[in-house]
Structure 1
Amino acid sequence: MQRFKAVTMGCIPGLSALLLILSVSLLTCPSVQGGKILVFPVDGSHWVNMNLLIQNLHTRGHEVTVVRTSTSWYVKENAPHYRSITIPLPAAIVIEEEDFFVSFLVKMLEIKKAGSSPIAFINFYWEMLSALSDIHKQASLVGVEILENKTLLQSIRDTQFDMVLIDPGLPVGVLVAHELKLPTVFNVRWITSGEGHFVVAPSPTSYVPTAGYAASTDMTFSERVQNLLFYLLNTCIDTFVVCPHYDRLAVRYFGPDVNFYHLLQGADMWLMRVDFVFEFPRPTMPNIAYIGGFQCKPSQALSSELEEFVLSSGEHGFIVMSLGTLVKGLPIEITSEIAAAFAQIPQKVIWRHVGEPPKTLGNNTLLVKWMPQNDLLGHPKARAFVAHGGTNGVYEAIYHGVPIIGIPLLFDQFENILRLEARGAAKSLDASKLTSQDFLETIQEVLHNPSYRNNMKRLSSLHRDTPMHPLETAIYWIEFVIRHKGASHLRTESYKMPWYAYYSVDVVGFLVAILLIFTAAVVGTIRFLCLRLCRSRKPKQE
């Protein structure tokens, strides 16, 4: 390859080569005039991903309008790269309240510590389902406010948007897109029923782990039973807890013939925040583009204070600890155990921590309220990442090749850490049972066993070895949908089939009926011939 470059550059003068490259780029790369994009995001950590897409779309000359609520936590009303439509709601959506996830985590840890009491588990699960129903009920009110406000709706129509970009974790934007008759693109990993693939692609529970069940693809019989049960549970929750709020709106505004779930499945493109370097292999569909790790980028220089701190670690290096954006902090009894373990290692520690500092804190640990996580993980002295297992942090660790000590707390974090453990790039701990000794032993194993770093470096190499950066892939497909006013040729219509047709139950039943009729006919014919033969023989014998 280097020889080819040398020969080429030697034959063409520098200016001519530059003009040739620019000409070829203009001729081969598809272009699109600045489009108008309506965005329905989800607040919290999801907004970090969506905001990055919006910034890049704005840079490409697109005009972006973001629909937000008046109580939004992260999505600001004014920003240089988008304009906003603010929807007033009578109360804040639960997930837009900063203390929601903290109180949720505290309750979950209390139940785990108390043991597996069936009553406590049922009470917790009931509270969780009630909160989930409230979240989607409140989110559906955004659709009511837009569809009922004729002035606002007409203003949106007059803007003549080209497409709608939606995070379907709260899928009310699907109803508005249907009303506006606009193509839709999902920025997705999670959807109403769990992981997005389960809505759009074949998902055999025999080897595809269900959302909420931490398992690998190589499941035993008992694990496959549990996996199926979790799938059925997710389906029931989606059918009876989540979707009724949106079904009512679909019937109210579009009539009984419009099925909300069909609208959800009918998106033109699914930008799936997944990379199979990290995820387990599974069936997929033509209208799914994989953009896992699209937020990752090379590290930048640290501030002088942080650089001085990490350099003071010498040959031992430093450890990064962060629990993401949603959970502001762990209970003090847990942080005290963690701090006590950190105090016993020679490495420096940079810990994103909000709240009361642990009394067991060592001199080697720096507490910060915010940290440049990507830049720290990309520093050559970074040795390990203590993380809760959120998707953004996991992909940044993979990108920079830093092994993880996992303390999963909520939702998909258990599954994320398990995937890395299965690849030998992480080791997890149970937060409810965490002790300073267990934590110290885990740190030492990850730091001193080279297999963890080597395995993560291998994942990093695989993740980076792609034709184009995942962010470029996302932008390409968004512009593809704008250029072609949708992507219906990539979308299957199988979701409109009744379940018995989708699984060929009617075909199997028909074939079984034919087989039974044929078998009955053959048996009947043989019996008839046998009876005639017996009757013809009796006179001769007499």
Structure 2
Amino acid sequence: MLVGKAAVVFLVLVKLTYSAKILFFCPLPAISHQKVYRSVIEELAVKGHEIHVVTPNPVYNESIPNIVNYNISIMYDLVKQESNAFMLRWFLNKPNFISMIFRQVILSLGAGVALSEFPNFKEIQRLTSNHQTFDVCVIEWIFPGFAVYGYKFKCPMIGISSVGLQIPMLDTVGNPSYPVIAPDLDLPLTRSLDSLYERTWSLFWWVFTKLYSHYITLPLLDAKIKKYYGNDVPYIGDIQNNVSLILLNRNMIFHRNVPNVPAVIEFGGYKRTPIVENISPALKSFLDDSKRGVVFFSLGSSVPASLLQSHVTIIQEAFASLPFEFIWKWDQETMENKPKNVFVSKWIPQLMVLNHPNVKLFISQGGLQSTEEAIAAHKPIIGIPFHSDQTTNVDTCVHFGMGKMLDVKDLTVETLRSYILEVINNISYAENAAKFDALMKDQPQDGLEKAVWWIEYVIRHRGAKHLRSTAVDLPWWKYLMLDVFALILAIVLATVFIFYFILKFLFKFVSKLFKKKSTIKKKSE
């Protein structure tokens, strides 16, 4: 009896202490994106899994020793090397259709450069030389070409994104992308797509991005992979389509309601653990000593202040004319003609600042992580969107009464000043942010727990092919039911022709009959 109980206890302990070996491959050099992945990584590590993380922003936490970092911060240098001021302005400014095409070209070329450079990185060499396989490979799906590492390590793959994803990335699991209901992530469209212009743009972009991905991006990446990873590697499009599932930092309340296949898991709206960050004594004093309230102004890590060169004086004048204190995340530690009520710094611990009770308003570019953090802190937003999903994010805040949108081309001292006064003095904006935060988090399972559960699900079942949508394997003409429409058209045309010939025959028959009767009548007369 005692032996049996001991065996049960042993099996339970073995189950509880099971540790999977997980590779997290998130190479995008953007701290805002990396913060989302870090939350998932640390949650997995706390559960006892052995996590190997390829990232340009390693975080060394001594309390979690089972995280092994592979520092590829050289990615920041690579981006600077491959870009210039003109390209940056085109890439980051609020796009039109032409600049969107330009951006797509830059992204595909950039992905090709990164894939060709990765085998030369010492940290990647350390990874590939010390490990043959993993239980699962979690890959940043913004650049699904890195799925080649999932193939190399012979393990199931999971895609993950700190935002939504472009249409071609979602196509890898056969997710529907009807352009009016589920437009592409990067289009600067309003939440509801009310205008004919927006719907037309969405349709044309849907066609373009699918064609560009299939005929340009994938062949380009495949050529790079064959050159730098070996000719024995299968076509990259086929490797990508073997992804088990995709984890998206989307929330069904904040984002558009769109249809998803079972292999798309949304974990947005997760509860953020308070982070204790170093805060300078000067900044702390500036926040604590404010009597009238603080406005936090930051355009995030991806929008340099150089994009606002022609508007800096306008912003300074607006800030100087108001009775509040302002914290301005700036590219440098000093600013020429800085108003007395403004604190500038290259680095601001954003989460700590937003949660400070004296902060009344957040002026932001509308990036998803910044917007989520503001909502979680119950702070209203004035959004000045530039690129990607920022327009839609800010429009969502406007739609739910949490803030206002200000286009950079409409930026004047009067408009900025009036917007700030309206949002701060009207308490409903902050109250709506608090209500919306509660609505986002009212879920049967916290988003972070959901993401971890699904990663462990793929590990338990060694993949999730049973979740694979048949849409992944359908040719485009079958997916669009062109054969069905062709059959229906053929039947309709055949029916029309049959009726036409029947009517033609009847007409001739009746004509002959009347003609015959007329002839007989004439003869009888």
Shared fold (TM-score, shorter chain, > 0.5): yes
In 2, the alpha carbon distance for the partners of 1:181 and 1:81 equals 22
Residue of 219, 235, 239 corresponding to 1:244: 219
8 Å CA contact retained: 2:335, 2:344: no
| SS across alignment from 1:169 | coil
C-alpha contact (below 8 Å) 1:49/1:295 kept by paired residues: no
Aligned-residue offset at 1:191: 8.0
- 1:481-520 to structure 2, matched below 5 A, reads 481-520=458-497
Q: Does 1:324 align with 2:304?
A: no
Residues 100 and 367 (structure 1), Cα distance of their counterparts in 2 relative to 1, 3 Å cut: farther
With over 3 angstroms needed to count, the CA separation of the structure-2 counterparts of 1:257 and 1:96, relative to structure 1, is closer
In the TM superposition, residue 360 of structure 1 has moved relative to its aligned partner by 3.6
1:278–1:419: 8 Å Cα contact kept in structure 2? yes
What is the aligned partner in structure 2 of residue 288 from structure 1? 264
C-alpha deviations, 1:148-196, integer Å up to 9, x for none?
x999757532xx3111100022223312213444211111156884685
Distance 1:220 1:139 in 2: 38
What secondary structure is seen at the aligned counterpart in 1 of 2:34?
Answer: helix
Q: Deviations over 1:398-429 (max 9, x none)?
A: 11221111122333323322222232222222
Quote how far apart the aligned CAs of 1:37 are: 0.9
What percentage of residue pairs aligned between the two structures are identical? 26
Letter of the aligned partner of 2:267 in structure 1? I
Q: How many residues align?
A: 496
Residue 379 (structure 2) pairs with residue 394 (structure 1) = no
Alpha-carbon deviations, 1:297-327, whole Å to 9, x = none? 347699676554333223x322222222234
In the alignment, does 2:217 pair up with 1:217? no
Q: How does 1:117-196 map to 2 (within 5 A)?
A: 128=103, 131-141=106-116, 155-157=130-132, 160-188=133-161, 193=166, 196=169
Range moving further from structure 2, 102-111 or 204-213: 102-111
1:231 corresponds to: 206
- Equivalence for 2:7: none
Amino acid at match of 1:224: R
* 2:22 partner SS: strand
Q: Is the 8 A contact 2:334 2:345 kept in 1?
A: no
Q: 1:249 to 1:194 in 2, by over 3 A?
A: same
TM-score scaled by structure 1? Answer: 0.78
In the other structure, the counterpart of 1:47 is 34
Residues 122-161 of structure 1: CA deviation (Å, up to 9, x unaligned): 7x77875664343112122257669xx999757532xx31
Aligned position for 1:476? 453
Other structure's SS at 1:363 match: coil
Alpha carbons of 1:230 and 1:129: their partners in 2 closer, same or farther (altered >3 Å)?
Answer: closer
The CA deviation at 1:472 is 1.3
Deviations 1:224-269 (A, max 9, x none): 1122223334335434553333232566779899553343344212
**SS of residue paired to 1:409:** coil
The more displaced of 41-50 and 238-247 is 238-247
Any conservation in 1 of the 2:368–2:393 contact (CA below 8 Å)?
A: yes
Tell me what 1:270 maps to: 246
TM-score when normalising by structure 2: 0.81
Tell me which amino acid in the other structure corresponds to 1:58: A
- Quickly say closer, same or farther: Cα 1:426–1:232, change in 2 above 3 A: farther
Kindly indicate whether the alpha-carbon contact (under 8 Å) linking 2:163 and 2:368 is maintained by their aligned counterparts in 1. Answer: no
Describe the superposition over 1:1-37 as per-residue Cα deviations: whole angstroms up to 9, x where unpaired.
xxxxxxxxxxxxxxxxxxxxxxxxx99xx96821111
Question: 1:402-481 to 2 correspondence within 5 Å?
Answer: 402-481=379-458
Please tell me the residue identity of whatever aligns with 1:476. Answer: W
Matched, 1:385 2:362: yes
Q: Does the C-alpha gap of structure 1 residues 65 and 442 become closer, same or farther in structure 2, counting only changes over 3 Å?
A: same
What RMSD in Å do the two structures reach over aligned CA positions? 4.0
* Helix, strand or coil at the partner of 2:243: coil
TM-fit CA distance, 1:501: 0.3
Distance 1:257 1:317 in 2: 58
Structure 1 residues 505 and 194: alpha-carbon distance in aligned structure 2, compared to 1, 3 A threshold: closer
Deviation at 1:293, TM superposition (A): 3.8
2:20 maps to what in 1? Answer: 35
SS of match in other structure, 2:131: helix
Following the alignment from structure 1 to structure 2, what is the Cα–Cα distance between the partners of residues 246 and 377? Answer: 41
Amino acid at match of 2:38: N
Query: Cα deviations across residues 64-104 of structure 1 (Å, max 9, x unaligned)?
Result: 22345xxx4x347998553245789xxx6577546878936
Change (3 A) 1:418 1:98: farther
